[in-house]
Amino acid sequence: MNRTALSLATLAAAAGAAGADVIQQSFSYEWTSNDVQHSFSFEPFDTAGGTRELTGVRVGFDGTIAMEITAQTYEGALEAGEWSAEASHTVVAYFNGGGIDLLQGLGGQWSDGITGDLGAGSNGQPGTPYVFTDTVGFANVVDVDSSYFGDFTGSEPLTGFMDGWFDGVVTPPDNGQWIEIFASMLSQEGTVTLTYEYENVPGPGALALLGVCGVVGVRRRR
């Protein structure tokens, strides 16, 4: 009985029984918000004739991101500490080709307590602005929702582009004076990796053969 069980286990392994594995694709790029979005193209997942099942899709970024933000006012001058702001720069991968439409945020940096001197505006023009620059090394991996797995197994290349998302929140001075804050420059430099995690599954022929061996094993035990 032990010999029969061992034979079945060996046959299952040879036939490609379930086992996790990964396929990775990556590219490196440099981008600033003054450029056209940086395009990419990944190959779709190959099911190898139905013998591989996709179980996970991950998108990762590893590199450097920077943001330069500008704050200004159209009213009276303000000193540092009389106002403050928080700002973020998020790395975004947008898949828009190959039958898939997916906006995947990869995360990013967040800076708070931003403040500085602002010149007084006049005649509808802003005063001397305050410019803040922050650069950080950043790495993160996110899981793509399983509802998109079918789109990653198509026949066409998965194309898209890298982009950046800016968000800023201002805490105004006590008098409520309006302050404008915007991203004067975003930049990214790094490597993007697309990872497929999959399991090998037996083909129909291997399953039929396993079934026959199972019957033989039962007869031997009798």
In a domain, 6, yes or no: no
Tell me, what's the pLDDT at 202? 77
Residue 205: predicted pLDDT: 53
What is the extent of the structural domain holding 152? 16-206
So what's the pLDDT on residue 154? 83
Does residue 184 form part of some domain? yes
Query: Tell me, what's the pLDDT at 127?
Result: 98
Any idea which residue has 């922050």 for tokens?
134
DSSP H or E segment with residue 29: strand 20-32
The span from the CA of 170 to the CA of 111, in Å, is 12
- Phi, psi angle pair for 15, to nearest 5°: -80, -5
The edge-to-edge listing of strands for the beta sheet with 130-143 is: 20-32, 179-200, 52-73, 130-143
Give the integer Cα–Cα distance in Å for 181 and 111: 13
pLDDT at 195 (0 to 100): 98
Q: Is residue 11 part of a domain?
A: no
Four-residue CA torsion sign, 116, 92, 164, 141: positive
Q: Considering the domain boundaries, does residue 23 fall inside one?
A: yes
DSSP 51: T
Specify the pLDDT at position 158: 96
Answer whether 85's CB lies under 8 Å from 220's CB: no
Dihedral over Cα of 139, 191, 92, 146: its sign: negative
pLDDT beneath 50: ranges in the chain: 1-18, 206-210, 212-213, 215-216, 222
How many folded domains does the chain comprise?
Answer: 1
In a domain, 95, yes or no: yes
Do the domain assignments include residue 213?
no
In a domain, 133, yes or no: yes
Q: Could you tell me if residue 75 is inside a domain?
A: yes
| Token couple for 185 | 């420059």
